[in-house]
């Protein structure tokens, strides 16, 4: 999951993902809008591919890149779970209950 969020932490790579949601694209086409050298761009693609967000295969001299939806869903689920837990906590507990919970935990931790 590290490589996963890491892959999304770069604007160029997020842009590639955004481009790919409308369908598979060859490397050159993906590279065009970005003002960086091709080899540099290729590194980004490798990062994306290593993270599982993207796959590609070569047809003739062209490499076609396509998105992989499953990891997106996985990350989304993680974020959703954290947010739900946090918000659920706010719903269930008032400031008082929270205070009690904290004090209880502190007692348990003391050695």
Partner DNA sequence: CGAATAGTTAGCCGTATGGCTAACCGAATG
Partner DNA sequence: CATTCGGTTAGCCATACGGCTAACTATTCG
Strand-by-strand arrangement of the 25-26 sheet: 25-26, 62-67, 54-59
Of 58, 73, 103, 104, the one binding a second copy by CB under 8 A = 73
Q: Which of 43, 80, 100, 104 is the binder for a second copy (CB under 8 A)?
A: 80
In angstroms, the first-to-last Cα distance of the chain is 35
Alpha carbons within 13 angstroms on the beta-carbon side of residue 101 total 8
Q: Is the Cβ of residue 22 or residue 92 nearer to DNA in the bound state?
A: 22
Q: What's the min distance (Å) between Cβ of 73 and a second copy?
A: 6
Instruction: Tell me which of a second copy, DNA, none is bound by residue 60, counting a contact when its beta carbon lies within the kind-specific cut-off of 5 to 8 angstroms.
Output: DNA
């Amino acid at each position: 999951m590290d490589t996963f969020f890491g892959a999304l932490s770069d604007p160029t790579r997020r842009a590639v993902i955004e481009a790919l949601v409308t369908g598979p694209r060859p490397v050159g086409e993906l590279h065009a809008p970005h003002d960086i050298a091709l080899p540099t761009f290729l590194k980004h693609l490798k990062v994306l591919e290593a993270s599982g967000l993207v796959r590609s295969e070569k047809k003739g001299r062209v490499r076609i890149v396509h998105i992989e939806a499953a990891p997106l869903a996985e990350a989304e689920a993680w974020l959703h779970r954290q947010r739900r837990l946090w918000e659920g906590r706010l719903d269930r507990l008032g400031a008082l209950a929270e205070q009690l919970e904290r004090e209880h935990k502190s007692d348990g931790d003391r050695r």
